[in-house]
Amino acid sequence: MEFSIKSTLPEKLKTDCIAVGIFETRKLSDAAESIDSASGGHISGILKRGDMEGRSGTSLLLHHVPGIAAERVLLVGLGKEAEFAEKAYIDAIHAALEAVRNTGAKDAAFYFTAIPVKDRNAQWSIHHAVLEVMDSLYHFDKMKSKPEKKRDALKKLSFFALDAGAELALKQGVAVAEGVNFAKDLGNLPGNVCTPSYLAGQALEIAKEFKLESRILEQKDMKALGMGSLLSVTRGSHEPPKLIVLEYRGAAKNKKPVVLVGKGITFDSGGISLKPGADMDEMKYDMCGAASVLGAIRAAAQMKLKLNIVAIVPSCENMPGGSATKPGDIVTSMSGQTIEVLNTDAEGRLILCDALTYAEKFDPETVVDVATLTGACVIALGHVASGLYSNDETLASELLEAGKQARDRAWQMPLWEDYQEQLKSNFADMANIGGRPAGSVTAACFLARFTKQFRWAHLDVAGTAHRSGKHKGSTGRPVPLLTRFLIERSSGA
């Protein structure tokens, strides 16, 4: 899709379809008003007949509207004017898009994008128009032998805006949406395609396209670094593990980087503590943290943010096998701390802890890790919010606010010392599980033992990175949250 900003008067705009807003009840928005007067009251006449109330989510397509340049006019319901906030705006975007896609229009213009949305600015409206449209248009058919037949006529979509920041908001929206799509594709690819080597290859593609520095650490490098915890997870697999590092430099060399760490388990069978069979296919999504971190650094590079960013992705499979790690095995992490692996299915924290210790090498300003870490987080927060943990309250607030702005919300959970007790081991410095109570919290508490050297936050995205059931698929979350956080960081600099 080709996006652009328009500032032409609505009645003068040459397009296959112009979409204008109608408030409840039958109240014309400014653009609808202009078209109405240019057409000699055509729109108000139709409204009087009772064909359109302006309810949120509704639309009405009109052909042959006299006196205007557009081929078609789409009236889009916006709900009550006094209640025109985020949800009504987003619903209008979707209703308009669906209606336009049902016509043969090759290009269209949404003119309701300039109507102020409660508590949000003009840039937000444009940014999210792009994100919502790209989200709706996304489909994954890379693994079908024949691509699906249905082809969209719509090739160009423009948004009306008079705001000076609209062009930038559009560009950034496209960059973020492409980062989201990148993450979605990686998530949706099956485990036999999206292996650690494939992830590394994709990271190198990003590095090439956006001129980032890259480094792939192999098993022997991990051994040399003493990453005994990471290495214990890959033991049962025939796929070689990779530790992927991308560096984007958009600020002065001496400026400390934001380091993003993403869990890249390309398939989580549970290992010797094998998972039950039902829905085990969804464990191909266990690399969504990695995908989001790669998608975010890609978007940041495309936006040329004035920020230094490092992405670190520890990646391997978690499989059973003759040489796989067994419950009761004790491993030594890169930090020197020893871990009793009581459950090989709690493998995410085992690869993350070594990646977090490795992050110290970059002298980070902040470290944010993203992981589909615990089923317990899904029980706590469902599929709405990602779980947020942090050892720094300012960082936590920044991420929470970024999530709200980005419509990719997180909810803060406690990291209190009281929970650390559950990780006690009789034989090693700690166990890798803390029992059933507060499973998402104890997983975060485990990571906290490896992040004392820097400001750190952890996002548990087990419930938000992908969907199950009929709409099974990757969501691309939390790329919107991460990129909003990075944009805010770079504009504050």
Q: Could you list the residues that contact ligand BES (CB under 6 A)?
A: 268, 286, 343, 345-348, 372-376, 378, 433, 439, 462
Q: Closest-CB residue for Zn ion?
A: 268
Query: Residue numbers of the site for Zn ion (CB under 5 A)?
Result: 265, 268, 286, 348
Least Å distance, CB 213 to ligand BES, is: 30
Least Å distance, CB 312 to ligand BES, is: 18
Give yes or no for residue 132 binding Mn ion (CB under 5 A): no
Whose Cβ is closer to ligand BES: residue 109's or residue 462's? 462
219 binds, options ligand BES, Zn ion, Mn ion, none, Cβ within 5 to 8 A by partner type: none
Catalytic residue (one of 171, 298, 349, 484): 349
Least Å distance, CB 145 to ligand BES, is: 29
Give yes or no for residue 268 binding Mn ion (CB under 5 A): yes
Least Å distance, CB 348 to Zn ion, is: 4
Whose Cβ is closer to ligand BES: residue 228's or residue 348's? 348
Whose Cβ is closer to ligand BES: residue 257's or residue 387's? 387
Angle between helices 479-492 and 166-188 (to 10 degrees): 140
The string of DSSP letters for 317-345 reads EE---TTS--TTEEEE-TTS-EEEES-TT
- Residue 211 falls in the annotated catalytic set: no
343 binds, options Zn ion, Mn ion, ligand BES, none, Cβ within 5 to 8 A by partner type: ligand BES
Whose Cβ is closer to ligand BES: residue 293's or residue 378's? 378
Whose Cβ is closer to ligand BES: residue 126's or residue 346's? 346
| Cα–Cα distance measured from residue 116 to residue 112, given in angstroms and rounded to the nearest whole number | 9
DSSP code for 29:
P
462 binds, options Zn ion, ligand BES, Mn ion, none, Cβ within 5 to 8 A by partner type: ligand BES
- Residue 6 falls in the annotated catalytic set: no
375 binds, options Zn ion, Mn ion, ligand BES, none, Cβ within 5 to 8 A by partner type: ligand BES
CA 44 to chain centre: 42
Contact yes or no for 365/258 (Cβ under 8 A): yes
Whose Cβ is closer to ligand BES: residue 24's or residue 268's? 268
| Cα–Cα distance measured from residue 167 to residue 391, given in angstroms and rounded to the nearest whole number | 37
Catalytic residue (one of 120, 275, 306, 326): 275
Size of residue set near Mn ion by CB under 5 A:
3
Least Å distance, CB 317 to Mn ion, is: 11
Cα Rg of the chain (Å, integer): 25
Among 345, 354, 408, 460, binds Mn ion (CB under 5 A): 345
Q: 469, exposed or middle or buried, with CB in 10 Å at 0-12, 13-18, 19+?
A: exposed
The footprint of Mn ion (CB under 5 A) covers 268, 345, 347
The catalytic site residues sit at: 275, 349
